[in-house]
C-alpha cells in the first residue's frame, strides 16, 4: 500500500491526470509507429508476412506494456508492471474482444489461430505456478523470458507450417506495410521507440502519484488505469480488423498480445526488480485472468459445430469485465475528502 500526504485535489490530480493522458497518447501513437516500422523493416529483409504477424507484430503490439514494465521496475514499482500485465489480459479478453464481437460476430476459420490458444492457456498456467509462493524472483523472471524465446520459436515454426489456404496468411499479407523503404521503416521504428519511452515515463509517474493520492496499491492502479490505457491499441486494431472481415487478425492480436504480456512484461519486471506479490494478486486478480482465458478457450473450441463468436458471448464478456472492475474499484478506491 502506498502512503503519502493528501494534497489539494484540484491542482495535484490535474497535473497527474495530464501526465497519464499525455503518456497514454504517446504510447498509443508510438506503438502504432513502432509496429509499422518493425513490420516494414522485417518485410524488407524478406521475412514472410505470416511470421512477421505471429512474432514481430505480436511482440510489438505489447510494446506499451513492456516499456511501462521496464520503467516501473527501474523505478522500484514492480507491482505496477504486474498489475498492468494481468489487467491488460483481462481487458483484452473482457473489453476488447467483447466489444469487437458485439460490433461484428467473429468467424473462426484459421487453424493457425486455433493452435495458438493452447499456448496462451499454458503460459497463463505457468504464470500461476510461479506466483504460488507469493514472490517473483530473478529465477522466475529468467524462466518467463526463456519461455518467451521458446514461444517465439514455436510461433515461427507454426507460421512456416500453416496451410497456404489459411485465411490469416492473406490477412497478414494485406496488413504488413509494403512499399516502405528500409530507411523510412527504421526511422519510424526509432521514433516509435522514443515515443514509447517518453510515454511510459509519463504514465508511470502520473500513475504512481494517483495511486498515492487515492491510497491504493500500484497493482490496483495498474489493473484499473494503466492496463486499460495500454490496451487501447489492441482495441483499435481488433475493431478495424473485424470491420474489414479480417477475423483472424481481430482475435489473433488479442491472443498474441496476452502471451507476450505475461512472459515479457512480468518476466522483465521480475528480472529487474524481484518482489513479493500483493495478497490480492493471488486471492483475486490472477484467477480472474485465468478464468477469462479459460472462457476464451472454451468459446473458440469447436465443440458444437459452430465457427463463430456471437454477440451474446460478446455482451457476456463485457458484463463480466465491468463487474470485475467495479468490484476492484469498490474494494480499493476511496476518494480523499
The answer to whether position 276 is within a domain reads yes
Query: Do the Cβ atoms of 228 and 92 come closer than 8 Å?
Result: no
CATH number at residue 268: 1.20.1420.30
What pairs with residue 309 in β-bridges?
Answer: 106
Supply the pLDDT for residue 178.
83
* Residues sharing a CB contact under 8 Å with residue 321, sequence separation 6 or more, in sequence order: 90, 91, 93, 94, 95, 98
pTM reported for the whole predicted model: 0.87
Per the listing, cell 520459436 goes with: 153
Query: Do the Cβ atoms of 323 and 90 come closer than 8 Å?
Result: no
Supply the pLDDT for residue 258.
92
The answer to whether position 292 is within a domain reads yes
Q: Is the pLDDT of residue 305 over 60?
A: no
The answer to whether position 82 is within a domain reads yes
Q: How many distinct structural domains can be found in the chain?
A: 1
- Cα distance between residue 36 and residue 43, in whole Å: 11
The answer to whether position 250 is within a domain reads yes
Measure Cα distances from 22 to 26, 144, 243, 291, 294 in Å.
6, 31, 28, 33, 35
The answer to whether position 215 is within a domain reads yes
Number of helices and strands (H, E) in the chain? Answer: 18, 4
- Cα distance between residue 183 and residue 180, in whole Å: 8
Q: Is the pLDDT of residue 10 over 70?
A: no
- Cα distance between residue 105 and residue 97, in whole Å: 10
The answer to whether position 184 is within a domain reads yes
The answer to whether position 4 is within a domain reads no
The answer to whether position 1 is within a domain reads no
Q: Whole domain around residue 231: which residue ranges?
A: 9-332
The share of the chain scoring above pLDDT 70, in percent, equals 93
Query: Do the Cβ atoms of 31 and 60 come closer than 8 Å?
Result: yes
Amino acid at each position: 500500500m502506498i502512503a503519502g500526504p493528501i494534497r489539494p485535489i484540484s491542482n495535484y490530480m490535474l497535473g497527474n491526470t495530464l501526465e497519464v493522458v499525455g503518456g497514454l497518447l504517446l504510447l498509443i501513437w508510438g506503438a502504432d509507429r513502432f509496429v509499422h516500422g518493425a513490420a516494414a523493416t522485417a518485410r524488407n529483409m524478406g521475412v514472410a508476412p505470416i511470421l512477421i504477424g505471429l512474432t514481430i507484430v505480436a511482440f510489438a503490439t505489447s510494446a506499451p506494456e513492456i516499456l511501462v514494465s521496464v520503467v516501473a521496475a527501474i523505478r522500484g514499482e514492480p507491482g505496477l508492471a504486474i498489475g498492468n500485465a494481468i489487467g491488460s489480459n483481462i481487458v483484452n479478453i473482457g473489453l476488447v474482444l467483447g466489444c469487437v464481437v458485439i460490433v461484428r460476430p467473429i468467424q473462426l476459420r484459421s487453424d493457425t489461430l486455433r493452435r495458438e490458444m493452447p499456448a496462451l492457456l499454458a503460459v497463463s498456467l505457468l504464470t500461476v505456478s510461479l506466483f504460488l509462493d507469493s514472490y517473483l524472483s530473478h529465477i522466475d523472471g529468467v524462466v518467463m523470458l526463456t519461455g518467451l524465446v521458446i514461444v517465439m520459436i514455436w510461433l515461427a515454426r507454426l507460421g512456416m507450417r500453416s496451410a497456404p489456404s489459411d485465411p490469416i496468411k492473406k490477412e497478414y499479407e494485406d496488413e504488413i506495410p509494403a512499399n516502405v523503404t528500409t530507411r523510412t521503416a527504421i526511422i519510424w521504428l526509432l521514433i516509435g521507440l522514443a515515443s514509447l519511452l517518453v510515454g511510459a515515463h509519463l504514465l508511470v509517474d502520473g500513475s504512481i502519484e494517483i495511486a498515492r493520492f487515492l491510497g491504493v496499491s500500484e497493482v490496483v492502479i495498474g489493473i484499473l488505469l494503466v492496463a486499460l490505457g495500454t490496451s487501447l491499441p489492441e482495441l483499435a486494431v481488433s475493431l478495424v480488423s473485424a470491420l474489414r472481415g479480417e477475423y483472424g487478425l481481430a482475435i489473433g492480436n488479442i491472443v498474441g498480445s496476452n502471451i507476450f504480456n505475461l512472459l515479457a512484461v512480468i518476466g522483465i519486471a521480475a528480472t529487474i526488480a524481484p518482489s513479493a506479490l500483493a495478497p490480492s494478486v493471488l486471492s483475486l486478480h490472477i484467477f480472474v485472468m485465468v478464468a477469462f482465458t479459460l472462457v476464451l478457450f472454451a468459446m473458440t473450441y469447436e465443440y458444437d459445430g459452430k465457427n463463430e463468436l456471437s454477440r451474446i458471448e460478446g455482451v457476456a464478456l463485457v458484463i463480466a469485465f465491468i463487474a470485475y472492475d467495479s468490484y476492484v474499484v469498490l474494494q480499493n478506491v476511496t476518494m480523499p475528502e
